[in-house]
């Protein structure tokens, strides 16, 4: 399978998750990286999802790395992983995520303009703790611009954004990440020559790095912190089924595993809100089905609130509690997957007005006979 390869260097002045800038476009440009990521128009997957044909057997998502340690070095590590996982990690994973009614993210009248081009306008959102929100729309609808604004890569030109009651307007991506918002990118942004373990350790340093003089002088406290960091990273990989890939360079992993590792690295920053930008881009139906299960799993185990931007309806429809539809930078529809499925404005946004009526009739007929 073809896919964007992992990069060797961090972007954006060495920022870690939010890490880097999107390949295929400067995040400061409207619609950057949105068009053509999956190599096909989103409509076929819309039709398949509405016709109920998205149920497929999981594909070789872990091909070549079954999640079990093949390297003898991992035998000794298992004891460490079991110890750490049994204390810190397991307490985090024990409680499934449920919506609580508490608003974790609020956006009011958010807009972003580029030299007169309005890429995002009048965006409103009240996101509940534990909710999974899906965001869909045609290429160029403003989805990636929205993610860039929410994660601090771009400041909004209008409106207000509050995370857990605190304004995040004007904060850079590093400070937004420290507050508890992590993201992935359409194109994989791993450190390719670094191992999977080191990729996760890099993100975990956000909450446990050694001091400057500790590192320069090689003090015992520095070595103790490094050991603790590695133990936590190993436990984190093990909890996500990636222990067997710990020593492999990120760029050598199968494409599906790279996607999974990028999500694992984002989770290593210990977020409350996870933004996933087209996580199924470049995947086949089997891999997408397995990724859907993986996202459900981490949502429940880590108590996350999740926003997913995706073209693939076989992922977004069964996964989301609520869906927003963007077109030309504005929300044109919002509701449950069932409501969005039959919304004529959504069908028109994907097909155009001339074909929308015929398509809506065909889709409703297919749903009735499924």
Q: Distance between CA atoms of 118 and 331, rounded to whole angstroms?
A: 13
Q: What is the pLDDT of residue 82?
A: 38
Helices (H) and strands (E) in the chain, counts: 14, 10
Cα separation, 172 vs 364, in Å, equals: 45
> Residues 41, 47: contact at Cβ < 8 Å?
no
- Paired with 277 in beta bridges are 309
- Residues 45 and 312: their CA atoms lie apart, in Å, by 6
SS3 of residue 134 by DSSP: strand
Domain definitions of the chain by residue range: 16-25+37-56+97-180+271-370
Query: Has this prediction a pTM greater than 0.85?
Result: no
The C-alpha atoms of residue 261 and residue 3 are separated, in whole angstroms, by 14
Looking at residue 171, what is its pLDDT? 95
- CA–chain centroid gap for 290, Å, is 15
Q: Using the Cα atoms of residue 272, residue 273, residue 277 and residue 281 in order, give the sign of their dihedral.
A: positive
Are 83 and 271 spatial neighbours (Cβ–Cβ below 8 Å)? no
Structural element, H or E, at residue 159: strand 158-163
Give me the pLDDT at residue 345, please.
Answer: 85
CATH class held by domain 16-25+37-56+97-180+271-370: alpha beta
- Looking at residue 101, what is its pLDDT? 77
| 324 three-state secondary structure | strand
Q: What is the pLDDT along the chain (370 residues), one digit of tens a residue?
A: 434 434 333 333 333 334 333 333 344 444 444 433 334 444 444 444 444 444 444 444 444 444 444 444 444 444 433 333 333 333 333 334 556 679 999 999 999 999 889 999 999 999 999 999 999 998 889 999 999 999 999 999 999 999 999 999 999 999 999 999 999 988 878 888 899 988 888 887 777 666 777 777 777 777 777 787 788 888 888 888 888 888 899 999 988 888 889 999 999 889 999 999 999 988 888 889 989 999 999 999 899 999 999 988 889 999 999 999 999 999 999 999 999 988 888 888 776 655 555 555 555 554 555 4
Q: What pLDDT does residue 69 have?
A: 41
DSSP string computed for 69-84: --STHHHHHHHHHHHH
Residue with tokens 């998750």: 17
DSSP assignment of 242-270 equals: -GGGTTSBGGGS-HHHHHHHHHHHHHTT-
Strands 158-163 and 166-167, how do they pair? antiparallel
Q: Where do we find the tokens 């449950």?
A: 336
CB atoms within 10 A of CB 308: 26
Assigned token pair, 106: 């609020």
pLDDT confidence of residue 22: 34
| Residue 195 and residue 247 in contact, taking contact as beta carbons nearer than 8 Å | yes
């Amino acid at each position: 399978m073809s896919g964007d390869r992992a990069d060797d260097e961090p972007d954006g002045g060495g920022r870690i998750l939010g890490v880097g800038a999107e390949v295929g476009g400067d995040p400061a440009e409207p619609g950057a990286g949105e068009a053509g990521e999956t190599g096909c128009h989103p409509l076929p997957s819309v039709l398949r999802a509405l016709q109920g044909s998205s149920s497929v057997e999981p594909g070789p998502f872990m091909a070549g790395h079954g999640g079990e340690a093949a390297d003898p070095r991992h035998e000794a590590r298992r004891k460490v992983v079991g110890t750490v996982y049994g204390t810190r990690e397991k307490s985090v994973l024990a409680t499934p995520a449920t919506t609580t009614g508490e608003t974790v993210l609020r956006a009011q009248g958010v807009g972003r303009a580029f030299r007169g081009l309005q890429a995002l306008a009048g965006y409103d959102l009240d996101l509940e703790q534990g909710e999974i929100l899906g965001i869909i729309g045609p290429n160029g609808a403003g989805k990636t611009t929205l993610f860039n604004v929410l994660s601090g890569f771009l400041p909004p030109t209008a409106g207000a954004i509050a995370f857990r009651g605190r304004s995040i307007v004007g904060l850079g991506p590093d400070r937004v990440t420290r507050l508890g918002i992590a993201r992935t990118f359409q194109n994989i942004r791993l450190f390719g020559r670094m191992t999977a373990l080191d990729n996760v350790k890099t993100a975990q340093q956000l909450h446990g790095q050694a001091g400057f003089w500790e590192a320069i002088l090689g003090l015992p406290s520095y070595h103790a912190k490094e050991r603790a960091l590695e133990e936590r990273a190993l436990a984190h990989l093990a909890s996500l089924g990636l222990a067997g890939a710990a020593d492999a360079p990120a760029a050598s992993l199968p494409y599906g595993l790279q996607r999974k590792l990028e999500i694992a690295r984002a989770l290593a920053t210990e977020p409350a809100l996870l933004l996933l930008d087209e996580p199924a881009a470049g995947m086949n139906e089997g891999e997408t089905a397995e990724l859907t299960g993986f996202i459900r799993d981490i949502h429940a185990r880590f108590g996350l609130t999740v926003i997913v931007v995706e073209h693939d309806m076989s992922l977004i429809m069964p996964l989301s509690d609520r869906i927003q539809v963007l077109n030309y930078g504005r929300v044109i529809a919002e509701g449950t997957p069932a409501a969005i499925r039959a919304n004529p404005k959504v069908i028109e946004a994907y097909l155009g007005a001339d074909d929308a009526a015929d398509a809506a009739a065909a889709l409703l007929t297919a749903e009735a006979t499924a």
